[in-house]
Amino acid sequence: MTKRVLSVLATCAVMLGLGLVAPTTATAAPYCGITWGSLPASATAVTSAQVENLRSGRHSCFDRLVIDLEGDVSGYSVTYVSRVSQLGSGHRVPLSGAADLAILVEARAYDDSGRATYSPRTPSRAVDVDGYRTFRQVAFTGSFEGQTLIGLGVRARLPLRAFVLDGPGDGSRLVVDVAHRW
């Protein structure tokens, strides 16, 4: 019986020892719960809104582009395309990255007198996205006949979502999120 007790104690000691020195199992990166796809996102409506600003932000699961508008906007299209072309002229807009998103907003970037309501210093680099995980380049391509086109170069064709938020004040915001991974 003593041999049996010693054997059990030795086995327990070995198992405990192995548990202390055994490597821990790797855990997967946290899943963000993203259920978006890469199909176009759009809503149709004619508005009198005006583009006022573009800005971006980095989040743990996605990169975000925000288009600030004066007035309510509900007409937009966000689509992966083989190339972004300027409104009116059709000239190609070169973008960094492996995939191009065309963001068409049913809002102009000029007022009733034709003065620009948004005019970045460097249109081809309208927003600084250096260091972002997914975004590579944001290009303001211009505004034509009440529509504004923004080209967004991204790392790859990844899940996206687009939606409109009210405010601040009488304004609204078109939000475009592109996930870091599938």
Helix H, strand E, coil C: the string for 92-160 is: EECCCCCEEEEEEECCECECCCCCECCCCCCHHHCECCCCCCCEEEEEEEEEECCEEEEEEEECCCCCE
**Is the distance from CB of 123 to CB of 139 less than 8 angstroms?**
yes
- Could you report the per-residue pLDDT of 56-79, keeping only the tens digit for each? 999 999 999 999 999 998 799 999
- Count of other CB atoms within 10 angstroms of residue 92: 11
pLDDT, position 19: 47
Domain 41-179 has CATH 1.10.10.60: no
**Is the distance from CB of 144 to CB of 90 less than 8 angstroms?**
no
DSSP 46-82: ----EEEEEEEEE-SSEEEEEEEEES----EEEEEES
| Structure confidence at residue 20 as a pLDDT band (50, 70, 90) | very low
- Could you report the per-residue pLDDT of 124-172, keeping only the tens digit for each? 999 999 999 999 999 999 999 999 999 999 999 999 999 999 998 999 9
Q: Is 12 a residue whose pLDDT tops 90?
A: no
Residue count of the chain = 182
pLDDT, position 32: 87
- Could you report the per-residue pLDDT of 70-120, keeping only the tens digit for each? 999 879 999 999 999 999 999 999 999 999 999 999 999 999 999 999 999
Q: Is 27 a residue whose pLDDT tops 60?
A: no
Question: What H or E segment, with its residue span, contains residue 174?
Answer: strand 172-179
Please tell me the distance from the alpha carbon of residue 72 to that of residue 3, in angstroms, as a whole number: 84
Domain boundaries, the chain: 41-179
Kindly report the pTM of this predicted structure: 0.81
